[in-house]
C-alpha cells in the first residue's frame, strides 16, 4: 500500500472504521468498544451473514503498535493484520484468518477458506483505498 504503516494501523485499530474496509460484507457497525484498540481491548460489532443479524464480541489478543494486531471472538480462530514498511516506501499489509485452532476440518468442508480468501482480498483493496485517500 502506498501509505505509511502508522496511517494504515490507525485505521485498523479504530473499530468504528471496520465496516468501511470490511470486504466480507458482514461487518455493519461498531456498537461498543474503545475509540482505539490495544491489547486486551474488547469491542462489539453489529454483523449480518446470510441475511441474519447478530452481534459479535471480540478481544484483541496480539498487539504491537504500528505493526501487528489480532483479535478473536468466542471461537478459537483469529483475524490478524501484520504491517511491514518497505525500504522504497509504502507498507506491505498481510491479513490472515487463522484456522489452526479449533476445528479446521469443519471450516474446510464448509468452504470457509475460499470464501474468506476472497473477502480478505477485497478487504485489503478497501483498506488500501482508505489509507491512500487519507493522505490527500
Q: What CA–CA distance (Å, rounded) separates 112 from 98? A: 11
Q: Please, what are the domains in the chain? A: 5-134 (3.30.530.20)
C-beta of residue 35 within 8 angstroms of C-beta of residue 58: no
Q: Report pLDDT for 95.
A: 95
SS percent in the chain: helix, strand, coil, step 5: 30, 35, 30
| Mean pLDDT, residues 53-60 | 95
- d(CA 23, CA 44) in angstroms, rounded, equals 18
What is d(CA 35, CA 97) in angstroms, rounded to the nearest whole number?
Answer: 23
> Is the model's pTM score more than 0.75?
yes
Arithmetic mean of pLDDT over the chain: 89
For the stretch 59-113, pLDDT in tens is 999 999 999 999 998 877 889 999 999 999 999 999 998 766 665 665 666 556 6
Amino acid at each position: 500500500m502506498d501509505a505509511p504503516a502508522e496511517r494504515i494501523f490507525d485505521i485498523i485499530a479504530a473499530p468504528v472504521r471496520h465496516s468501511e474496509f470490511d470486504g466480507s460484507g458482514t461487518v455493519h457497525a461498531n456498537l461498543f468498544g474503545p475509540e482505539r484498540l490495544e491489547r486486551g481491548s474488547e469491542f462489539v460489532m453489529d454483523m449480518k451473514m446470510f441475511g441474519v443479524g447478530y452481534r459479535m464480541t471480540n478481544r484483541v489478543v496480539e498487539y504491537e503498535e504500528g505493526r501487528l494486531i489480532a483479535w478473536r471472538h468466542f471461537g478459537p480462530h483469529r483475524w490478524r493484520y501484520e504491517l511491514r514498511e518497505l525500504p522504497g516506501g509504502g507498507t506491505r499489509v498481510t491479513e490472515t484468518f487463522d484456522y489452526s485452532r479449533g476445528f479446521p476440518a469443519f471450516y474446510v468442508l464448509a468452504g470457509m477458506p475460499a470464501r474468506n480468501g476472497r473477502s480478505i482480498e477485497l478487504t485489503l483493496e478497501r483498506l488500501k483505498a482508505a489509507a491512500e485517500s487519507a493522505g490527500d
